[in-house]
Structure 1
Amino acid sequence: MLRLPRDLRDEFKTPFGPVYRSADRLLEDAGAPIVAVGDVVTYHLREAGRVPDVAVVDGKTKREAVDETVRRAVADPDDPVEVANEAGTIGEELLAALEAALAGGDAPVTVVVEGEEDLATLPAVVAAPVGASVVYGQPNEGMVLVSVTEETKREMRELLARMEGDADAALRVLGVEP
């Protein structure tokens, strides 16, 4: 549905929130529900005793396969939601899975992406309720905590609108009025 254009890539180099090296410290500041985007982030949150309400994983970190310890730790013992999503895109399957996971019940949901989940932070912030937290990895720095506020929702919507494709249709899949 949406593709990241080259001229927008620099917008993603600066973290969208504070960076933490300690999952325990991050969890002290996090709201609920918690959406984790990335295998290593999901691993650290689980190791700190907090299973994310929604985890979006793709089996990779820095474009390489995660090690066996991380892979085993983030594997969902229940039935994961599996979606395809090409690198540099936000596809309809991923959007629908995020919307369903956030609208679902109390049980944690793991979305396993065949392809790449790197851009899932944007729609996760847009779809999550105010007060939630979206956590993603900042390579070689730590974990970024995005507190979901009306302001962060607006910022992510603006970034989605600058991507190639139909941002309004993407918002509708997320259950959000364009």
Structure 2
Amino acid sequence: MMHPLGLLGGTFDCFHAGHLALVERGLVECEVLEIWLTSDALAQLKDSRTCSWNERTSDLLDSIGKAAAQRVSLHTLEDEDGPAPIHELATAILCTPETRAGCARINSMRAANDLPDLAVIEVEHVLAADGEPISSSRIRAGEIDREGLAWIPESARTGRIVLTPAVEAELKDPFGQLIPGPEDDPSVAMSQVLAQIEFETGPLIAVGDVTVLALQELDHPADIALIDGRTKRQPWESADAIDASVYDKVLRCQSPAGSLTPSLLEACAQALTAWMDDGSSYLIEVDGEEDLAPLFLHPLAPMGAVVLYGQPGKGVVVRRTNEDAKQRCRRLLSGFASIE
């Protein structure tokens, strides 16, 4: 027999397969489901990158479909328990294993209010491809997508992949916003970039010797910098002016021109993981070329990261890491040819 009314609460940011499983189970067990989404004020305290209440509710409704939406009502959750301790019509509450204790506390409060216990419907986590639970925090950290899939194709993890003509054609246009500036004075465009990203919270990632040096000369070194000692595929004398001492650590890797390697992937992953752990800055010296590195950096980076690279003769390209950037990079990486 179905419960007349069930309660479900949470932030529901980056609405994912685990969230969908909760809602679907709720609609199997309950005729009507009240979903209480954390208020913007509370959600921002947990993570400033959390989307607004309106965005989260819209995302939820789009994901569950029109038929399910007719049996759901959406509300704002202003505290940890919401209306559950005093709700007179609700007969059930949904939870995941780690929130079950909260349901027991709510039922104790209901008993004190002379209300019957809510039936606790526990829903197991949906696991990502790596066997770990899908979560909004993992999605924001850039680890997985909303279905729990990795952003880096297996072919790129296990061997060298090579640029194909089809992918190369797609890379001709700037991948991001072009900030114009004179080629002989990169500081002009870079100063505009720094003003634009002043309040960004993600790591600043610079790809290319000219870009890395321009940031250093403006006393704003990148959090993660990739260099290869070249510009326009030719040795660059000014590369010696790049000061490795401004970074916490230096990594070295190999990635031949026109290709991407597990060596480069490992270096990028190590640097980004360290930045997310403790804010460490890294200089990555690439033996070969680093110009294709953004195709690894966006999939690996947390949401909100800023990736910069130079566009010879035009200026600096700025691209913020978001799901669109990650999806595009994954698609392009899948178009590379594998080297046996």
CA distance in 2, matches of 1:67, 1:140: 18
Alignment partner of 1:29 is 2:29: no
Alignment partner of 1:164 is 2:320: no
Contact 1:125 1:153 in 2 (8 A): yes
CA distance in 1, matches of 2:192, 2:256: 33
Structure 1 pair 63–117 and aligned structure 2 pair: CA distance change class (3 A): same
Structure 1 pair 134–107 and aligned structure 2 pair: CA distance change class (3 A): same
CA distance in 1, matches of 2:218, 2:170: 30
CA distance in 1, matches of 2:206, 2:213: 9
CA offsets per residue over residues 63-105 of structure 1, 9 Å max, x none? 111123x421x23126521111111111001000000000003
Alignment partner of 1:48 is 2:218: yes
DSSP 3-state at the match of 1:155: helix
DSSP 3-state at the match of 2:330: helix
Superposition map of 1:114-153 within 5 A:
114-153=287-326
Contact 1:51 1:108 in 2 (8 A): no
Pick one of 87, 100, 104 that aligns with 2:270.
100
Q: Partner letter of residue 36 of structure 1?
A: A
Alignment partner of 1:15 is 2:179: no
DSSP 3-state at the match of 1:118: coil
Pick one of 243, 253, 267 that aligns with 1:75.
243
CA distance in 2, matches of 1:34, 1:130: 12
% same residue: 33
CA distance in 2, matches of 1:90, 1:75: 26
Contact 2:163 2:336 in 1 (8 A): yes
CA distance in 2, matches of 1:62, 1:3: 19
Q: Structure 1 unaligned segments of length 5 or more: list them.
A: 167-178
Q: Structure 2 unaligned segments of length 5 or more: list them.
A: 1-159, 182-188
Task: Spell out structure 1 runs of 4+ moving beyond 4 A.
Answer: none
Task: Give the alignment's TM-score, normalised by structure 2.
Answer: 0.46
User: 1:153 Cα shift?
Assistant: 1.0
